[in-house]
Structure 1
């Protein structure tokens, strides 16, 4: 089989490539810019392995990718980078590395780290942070504004309750900062108690920003509102602070209806969460101390009001006592004179009533006598008339009763005559008989049967008999 290209063994091709790279790149170094991806560290061996990638502008599609190794010199450069920046070397960092290009027949093409430019990475981080801030202010002017060199959010305008009781805590599982926070709250010297709900979230990795945003939304939309939300982090590398500059997270922080206090523990410049939250503290312990201080100030304020109220009340009572004493003395002097005048007035009034009462009673008695004399004849005539009416009605009632008795008597005689005519004995005298069984008159022969003992009663006697045979009528 013929081909236009020469046929080579793989080893021959790799040898050719090795010669090429040795001639072209041996002893040369390059400053290379890219994003760290797939980083793995081996501190015990002083090694780092990672990929350096470049993405297309405005997209996540890869434009270039190369494997990178850092042996002892590179490991020392990365350690120096972490000390200078305060950032842990990890995936996601934009870095500028000084590297050698090498080719190995078995392991392929690689970059070997010689040195790092820490200033470049810090500049890239700050640039991204500024871009995120500008985008947030531009897109959400209703709850995020820039005032001079500072930022103002809706969350910062929320008023804290006088006493903080219900607290929502956003933290990572097992975070030491959460333990410090709870230890400070529960061991407070004032005996304050709190209701704390945990909202766990990752604070590292690509998904951390999404999870933190979701937790902020859950807290803000809880039907039983919280007094305060707390976002804490239990130490760690400065790189972990990248997530607190996340666009979606800070949108939720700025518009949250629950005041957010941050204690994410860092020494570098503030994160965007620090800028947008209600109040920022350096550490979780500082957050707990601020909560206790807030409640303590409220308690002292109430105690001060109570003391001021007691002092004011005592002054008012003392003043009223003095006024009452003066009033009592004045009343004591006035009462005898007032009583004397009232007694005199009552005596005069009683005399007037007595005079007018006797005169009025006498005139009333005379008038009654005159009235009785005028109505006496009329009353007597009225009584006589009513007596006559009663007598006439009584006479008519007696007549009616007699007539009714006569009619009833006649009816009774007619009934007695009918009874007499219906007497069975009269029928017996005419030749009829009565037939009975066991004292019960037989009205129908069908009631009898052969062998029945019967009694036959005539006008003159009773005859005992026995039924032998019953023949039907033809």
Structure 2
């Protein structure tokens, strides 16, 4: 058999592929790889692959491209999902098949289905949550459709002063958090110990969990742990949706505040931590507002104490006035009665005064200046004295 010219084989393949796929579009599921994106030129080259269930062996690999007329599909996908168009993402793609005798077989991507990617992410996340509930029922459980964790039930200090901060060094999240905290309008002072580490990319969850372990084993009594990260795509937050992070956060012994900078979705870390806010700036604002509420409570108690003290003093003053008036009345009555009693006794004493008795015609019989009151004590021929109003008369007792 005579050999075919390469061009004949290529044209034959072109005809066969055109007959099978020409002017047709098909939906395919594939994983992205080797992306070369040229936003300024409006086109992108990449490789689509399919791997086995273990993710180790490649079952198929085809070159693909996105031309200018469909380049908006990348932006549409990223806006709809919050996921950056990057390598190692499994996508549902509408493609057309083309073959060039010079450039070979290539898939042209016409559209990217965002719902497929969102569904995959949600299924993966739900699997992680279900596994956590199953493996750690003492740390994570469902209650009325809400995930409750041991970390969420930790008591929050009345005032948060010492904080362990987990973030990437010199990142936007680090700057935003520190700026908001130090520039707070109330002049609150916070002690922030930094545990700097990577917070995205491969191995980030292990790095973050390693810092949590450092905090746990330290001798410092932290009031809270704050994990912050600036904005980014959904894939950048993959570490916060992992089983390892969920397990570490749910059972951590210090309240964890998450401000990991994404507005669109709620991560597993957000669901299971003590408190979650959207951005590093809001994380700092939460701490400030928490302490502000305590101060406001103290100010309210101070005002209430002023009112209660004023009312108590007024009541005591009124009671003192009443008791003073009562004492004055009782004292006056008592002294008046005493005066009357003394007056009566003075009158009685005045009546009983011997000099007054003598004026009424009575006399006193004296022996050696002492009053005699019994006749039996008088002896015959005894010399006695009779004291009258105007003088004393000596007498001699005669025997009758």
Q: Same fold (TM over 0.5)?
A: yes
Query: What residue in structure 1 maps to residue 110 of structure 2?
Result: 114
Q: Which residue, out of 38, 41, 50, partners 1:54?
A: 50
Residue 274, structure 1, aligned to residue 267, structure 2: no
- Find the residue that maps to 2:40 and give its secondary structure: coil
Structural mapping, 1:60-79, within 5 Å:
60-79=56-75
Higher relative CO (CA 8 A, sep ≥ 6), structure 1 or 2? 2
> 1:281 Cα shift?
1.3
Q: Say whether the 8 Å CA contact 2:17–2:99 is kept in structure 1.
A: no
CA distance in 2, matches of 1:211, 1:6: 64
SS at match of 1:231: strand
TM-score normalised by L of structure 1: 0.62
Given the superposition, is the C-alpha separation of residues 101 and 324 from structure 1 closer, same or farther in structure 2, using an over 3 Å criterion? same
Please tell me whether residue 166 in structure 1 is matched to residue 143 in structure 2: no
Match for residue 95 of structure 1? 91
1:125 corresponds to = 121
Q: CA deviation at 1:14?
A: 7.5
Equivalent residue, structure 1, for 2:359: none
Matched, 1:192 2:185: no
Change (3 A) 1:40 1:226: farther
Gap runs ≥5 in structure 2: 337-400
Rounded to whole Å, the distance in 1 between the matches of 2:103 and 2:62 is 12
Deviation, 1:328, is 10
What residue number does 2:286 align with?
290
Segment of structure 1 superposing worse, 142-151 or 206-215? 206-215
Which of the pair has more CA radius of gyration?
A: 1
Q: Is the 8 A contact 2:180 2:285 kept in 1?
A: yes
Q: Is residue 2:13 matched to residue 1:20?
A: yes
Q: Does 1:299 align with 2:295?
A: yes
Q: Residues 105 and 20 from structure 1, CA distance in 2 versus in 1: closer, same or farther, beyond 3 angstroms?
A: closer
> CA–CA distance in 1 between the matches of 2:324 and 2:274?
58
The alpha-carbon distance between structure 1 residues 290 and 329, as it changes in their structure 2 partners (threshold 3 A), is: same
Deviation larger for 323-332 or 72-81: 323-332
Q: 1:127 to 1:15 in 2, by over 3 A?
A: farther
Provide, for residues 75-121 of structure 1, a one-character-per-residue CA deviation record: whole Å limited to 9, x for no partner: 23222222333322112322011223445667654433222222211
Q: Secondary structure at the residue paired with 1:67?
A: strand
Contact residue 258 and residue 269 of structure 2 kept, 8 A: yes
C-alpha distance in 2 between matches for 1:14 and 1:223: 75
Q: 1:336 to 1:221 in 2, by over 3 A?
A: farther
Which range is displaced more, 326-335 or 55-64?
326-335
| Structure with a larger share of its residues in strand | 2
Are residues 1:256 and 2:252 paired?
yes
Secondary structure at 1:290's aligned position in 2?
A: helix
> 2:304 corresponds to which residue?
308
Contact 2:48 2:63 in 1 (8 A): yes
C-alpha distance in 1 between matches for 2:201 and 2:327 = 87
- C-alpha separation in 1, matches of 2:260 and 2:144: 25
RMSD between aligned residues: 3.3
In the TM superposition, residue 322 of structure 1 has moved relative to its aligned partner by 5.5
CA distance in 1, matches of 2:210, 2:15: 53
